[in-house]
């Protein structure tokens, strides 16, 4: 991962909804799971794949209308997603392929999750139009959050700022699904609306962050057409 230019250190990195202290506390709580994975000789990539499968299973349950079960399974998937990075560091550090696999399956899992939410709405709700549109906007904006960071790092800059990176968005969707499972459909509508709003705001934050870096750093060489095309496909 490319480091940001020194002159951009005044730009905030810790402005997400969850504070750095809360995230550190979460990692401390996950330490027993990391130690268990080490004892079982699981690799970080194995945990990444297992986590992806668990999230897809949660998406299927949600699509079938088993919202509480889906929320519970999704929570397990999020725990595995959080464990893989810590496990990689505990067993010798991250690898290029490991980072690529993790990012790729994260996007696939997020797509599957929102597909499950949309399937539930189309089959289990009398008037699904509004919430389906919210889900589509939330998913599209979420992908843009990830894409802006990937493109920034591809040109040697950083874009890990923003109100709602992936963890915050997933926590919101879990809460919304659980509330809908308890009969409070408005909870899911609200969660999707908040995610859509925050993801759009985060995308704008990242664009501005990269702009600020670009005007205070040395201009990088322009990528070749083939390299640019490859990056766009990613």
Burial letters 20-45, b for 16+ CB under 10 A, else e: eeeeeeeeeebeebbeebeeeebebb
Q: Which active-site residues does the annotation give? A: 106
Half-sphere exposure for 12 (CA within 13 Å, toward CB) = 10
Q: In whole angstroms, what is the distance from residue 133 CA to residue 116 CA?
A: 14
Report the candidate in 165, 174, 167 with the shortest Cα–Cα distance to residue 113: 174
Half-sphere exposure for 16 (CA within 13 Å, toward CB) = 23
Q: Retrieve residue 234's tokens.
A: 């990613």
Number of other residues whose CB lies within 10 A of the CB of residue 175 = 16
Report the candidate in 80, 69, 33 with the shortest Cα–Cα distance to residue 174: 69
Report the candidate in 8, 119, 147, 122 with the shortest Cα–Cα distance to residue 60: 119
Report the candidate in 111, 102, 167 with the shortest Cα–Cα distance to residue 140: 111
Q: In whole angstroms, what is the distance from residue 178 CA to residue 184 CA?
A: 9
């Amino acid at each position: 991962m490319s480091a940001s230019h020194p002159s951009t250190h005044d730009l905030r990195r810790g402005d997400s909804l969850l504070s750095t202290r809360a995230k550190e506390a979460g990692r401390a709580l996950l330490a027993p799971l990391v130690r268990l994975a080490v004892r079982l000789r699981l690799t970080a990539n194995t945990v990444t794949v297992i986590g992806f499968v668990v999230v897809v299973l949660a998406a299927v349950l949600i699509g079938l209308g088993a919202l509480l079960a889906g929320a519970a399974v999704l929570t397990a998937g999020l725990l595995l997603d959080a464990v893989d990075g810590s496990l990689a560091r505990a067993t010798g550090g991250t690898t290029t392929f490991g980072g690529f696999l993790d990012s790729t399956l994260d996007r696939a899992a997020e797509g599957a999750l929102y597909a499950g939410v949309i399937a539930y709405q189309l089959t289990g709700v009398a008037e699904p139009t509004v919430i389906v549109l919210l889900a589509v906007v939330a998913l599209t904006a979420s992908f843009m959050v990830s894409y802006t960071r990937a493109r920034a790092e591809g040109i040697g800059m950083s874009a890990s700022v923003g109100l709602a990176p992936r963890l915050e968005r997933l926590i919101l969707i879990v809460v919304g699904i659980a509330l809908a499972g308890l009969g409070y459909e408005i909870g899911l509508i609200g969660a999707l609306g908040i995610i859509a709003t925050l993801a759009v705001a985060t995308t704008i934050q990242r664009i501005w962050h990269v702009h600020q870096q670009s005007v205070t750093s040395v201009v990088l060489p322009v990528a070749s057409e083939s390299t640019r095309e490859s990056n766009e496909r990613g």
